[in-house]
Amino acid sequence: MRPEQIAQVRPRLVEFTTTMLGELNGYHQPAKGELYVRGLLTDGRRKSMQPMAERLGVDHQQLQQFITSSSWDHEPVRANLARWAAQTIDPQAYVADDSGFPKDGDASSCVARQYCGALGKKANCQIGVSVQMVDDHASLAANWRLFCPESWDDTTVNDAAQAARVRTRRKRAGIPEQVRHREKWRLVLDMLDQMNNEWGLPKLPLTADSGYGDATEFRLGLEERGYRYAVAVQPTASAYPLDATPELKPYGGRGRRPRPRYRIAPANLRELALAAGQPSFVEVCWRHGTRTSTTNPTAAMTSNFLAIRVRPANRDIPRGDDGTLPARWLLIEWPDGAAEPTDYWLSNLDEDTPLVDLVRLAKIRWRVEHDYRELKTGLGLDHFEGRTFTGWHRHVTLVCLAQAFCTLLRLDPKARAPA
């Protein structure tokens, strides 16, 4: 926003940030938080502390002290934002994803050479894992964890000298002792536990890309917690047709009694999709966009889909007493003009779930791309130049507060400034 637009909505910004930030262990802290958020909202190419301070006309030490050395806890702020989103946005699903934060040097907390989605290749970066609360019309990046690579966890290092260097590095970056290397999908489960058990949020259906959906343990973890999901998977994942049944070999009287098991190898998802045939797919509209045309006046977003019941095959999946694997939905997309299906999802939604509901849940992940674009391009999510673990989480939390305020303005038809 331009400074004059900020001035128009400033009273609402002060009220909103004060409510979300709470007391923050200090009388002046909410005011400093509002100043930082105002800096994120004000137009400017960079949203790091020095450029923001110049635009705000303040000493950048005020911003730096608030982010790096003050004592406030970002977790209650995230809880406030998430509860606000639950009431205001009325989210229909959670979306799990991660995003890369390219970095120079090796001093920033948890930075390592790893795949960076923002660059589409391996690079020196941090990885932030997020859980978004989404609806087709609004969303909030509600919860975040900074992924800790093994190179930042001294408990994964066998060499004593190297482990000591890692501990020194962790201390300089202010990484808490309890923060250790955990797979990204485990971080998502941790965040869902926090959102449900501590923040009191409902167990909404969840969707995610194949980086999460391909992890059988992740899907099982969601099911154990009572979450519904529709997660993308690779076509090479294996499954049995619904009518496949385990067989029990006759007992010969010696040794351990045989247990029922499948006597044929499972197929991969691509094979099951091709066996169903393209004529089995039907056109589904999952939402209406904004780009209308003479040929598509309602901006309907459509493609061809098929949902079939399958039994995903993996040794970690619990089997019934009769040896059967549980049945799940396989959702497949085969766009017009494509030589074969392009996208696959597994879902544990109820057996009588309409096809359009499966498609809508799978496709609502588009909001994440919208969020990351707005958070990075407009609000400076990846502009933080500090090195500490706590500073990163505080900056990200305040960026999400700025995003929530933009959403508040968009949802208010009487808002006097664009957001």
SS percent in the chain: helix, strand, coil, step 5: 40, 20, 40
For 257, counting Cβ atoms within 10 Å of its Cβ (0-12 exposed, 13-18 middle, 19+ buried), the class is exposed
pLDDT at 151: 95
pLDDT at 393: 97
How many C-beta atoms surround the C-beta of residue 242 within 10 A? 13
How many C-beta atoms surround the C-beta of residue 58 within 10 A? 14
- What's the pLDDT tens digit per position in 362-374? 999 999 988 899 9
pLDDT at 417: 47
pLDDT band at 360 (very low <50, low <70, confident <90, very high): very high
pLDDT band at 26 (very low <50, low <70, confident <90, very high): low
Residues 6+ apart with CB under 8 A from 342: 333, 334, 335
For the cut 70, the answer to whether the pLDDT of residue 418 exceeds it is: no
How many C-beta atoms surround the C-beta of residue 250 within 10 A? 6
For the cut 60, the answer to whether the pLDDT of residue 27 exceeds it is: no
117-153 core/surface letters (b: 16 or more CB in 10 A; e: else): eeeeeeebbbbbbbbbbbebebbbbbbbbbbbeebbb
For the cut 60, the answer to whether the pLDDT of residue 254 exceeds it is: yes
The stretch 261-265 carries a mean pLDDT of 90
pLDDT at 414: 62
The mean pLDDT of the chain is: 93
pLDDT at 257: 74
pLDDT at 28: 60
pLDDT band at 29 (very low <50, low <70, confident <90, very high): confident
The stretch 93-103 carries a mean pLDDT of 96
For the cut 60, the answer to whether the pLDDT of residue 114 exceeds it is: yes
For the cut 70, the answer to whether the pLDDT of residue 273 exceeds it is: yes
